[in-house]
Structure 1
Amino acid sequence: MSTERTIKELTRRWLKAAASNDVEAVMALYHPAIRSFDAILALQVEGAPAYREHWKKCMASCPADPFFEMYDYKVETADSLAVSHSLTHCGATVEGEQQGGWMRVTQVWERDGDQWQILHEHFSCPFNPEDMSLIMDWQPEHTPVRFS
């Protein structure tokens, strides 16, 4: 399987695990030395144990019917590193209404032997510099990526 297809398959697993609030399945995809710049709760998180606790807090904030959809997903590969990036719509469905927002997501994958793991992850949300408000209601013209 090509590196690009492998990363896409791992990303599909990541999306499924995140949307299922399955912290152990999510964490199985991270490198022990993960460094994350997340958009919520912390400026940065270092190491898998700390990131597991961070994910637990994030998942607790969306306990009912979470969703993760990726748009404009791309993968770049080189030797033992790969980078995937996307626009990601995430949040939870509450009483039939999606509540969430748009994030820009970059994941840096490192290969160790035959195994790829996320070494660095960056979630960010655009903001309006005039009033410092977050811009959560972007509407990309594209459809979500369907990993098959």
Structure 2
Amino acid sequence: MRHRFVVIFLLVGGLMASSLCFAAQVEKKAAPAAYDFKGLMQKILDAWSTLDPAKAASFYAQEANRVFYDLAPLKYTGWKEYAEGVPKVLADYASLRLTVGKDATVHQRGNFTWGTTTWHADAVKKDGSKEAMEGRWTVLWEKRGDDWLVVHEHFSVPLGPPPAKK
């Protein structure tokens, strides 16, 4: 009887141990590969810092129905409209340096990832005057093949304080 109890105990223990190992292997395979989205955020801002939308194009989905919210105008529909509109907004600038904030966060769910961050910009206008600004950015990526492409973003600055009441 005692021998039978020991054998059953060893069999149950062995089954439990092997199932834990199997579960760990399944969990390992199911976890998505780590990707440096915060680094990708900075690469995208570096591309925009060139003032040339063509440098940023490879980071964006090219479909005509994609919506992108930037500083101005209210919205761009499709990459083509975005690429044609941004140079008009940036026409007065000689240089731009955009930096991702330290508060950048990303959330990945399979082939979809969203990120949020604040950003800082240092700009020099063609007349030599300088501007600095702080803003916020929400970006949505979709994995297509080996690439993570921006399928939507909202890039903005907060409104200034309301005018003083008289």
Query: What's the TM-score bracket when you normalise by the shorter of the two chains?
Result: 0.7 to 0.9
Q: Conserved in 2, the CA contact under 8 Å of 1:67 and 1:93?
A: no
Selected match of 2:81 from 35, 50, 59: 50
1:107 alignment partner in structure 2: 139
Deviates more, 1:66-75 or 1:53-62: 53-62
1:142 alignment partner in structure 2: none
2:106 alignment partner in structure 1: 75
Selected match of 2:91 from 55, 60, 68: 60
> What SS is found at the alignment partner of 2:71?
coil
Q: Distance in 1 between matches of 2:109 and 2:50?
A: 31
Please state which structure has a larger fraction of its residues in strand. Answer: 1
What TM-score results when the alignment is normalised by the length of structure 2? 0.67
Q: Conserved in 1, the CA contact under 8 Å of 2:49 and 2:95?
A: yes
1:145 alignment partner in structure 2: none
1:123 alignment partner in structure 2: 155
Larger radius of gyration: 2
> What SS is found at the alignment partner of 2:74?
coil
Structure 1 unaligned blocks of 5 or more: 133-148
> What SS is found at the alignment partner of 1:28?
helix
Q: Distance in 1 between matches of 2:83 and 2:95?
A: 20
Please state which structure has a larger fraction of its residues in helix. Answer: 2
The count of residues paired between Structure 1 and Structure 2 equals 128
Q: CA deviation at 1:69?
A: 1.4
Structure 2 unaligned blocks of 5 or more: 1-32
> What SS is found at the alignment partner of 1:11?
helix
Q: CA deviation at 1:107?
A: 0.7
Q: Distance in 2 between matches of 1:102 and 1:68?
A: 10
Is 1:15 the counterpart of 2:52 in the alignment?
no
> What SS is found at the alignment partner of 2:105?
strand
Deviations 1:101-121 (A, max 9, x none): 111111111111221110001
Q: Conserved in 1, the CA contact under 8 Å of 2:41 and 2:100?
A: no
Q: Distance in 2 between matches of 1:2 and 1:51?
A: 30
The structure whose RCO (Cα within 8 Å, separation 6+) is larger is 1
What TM-score results when the alignment is normalised by the length of structure 1? 0.74
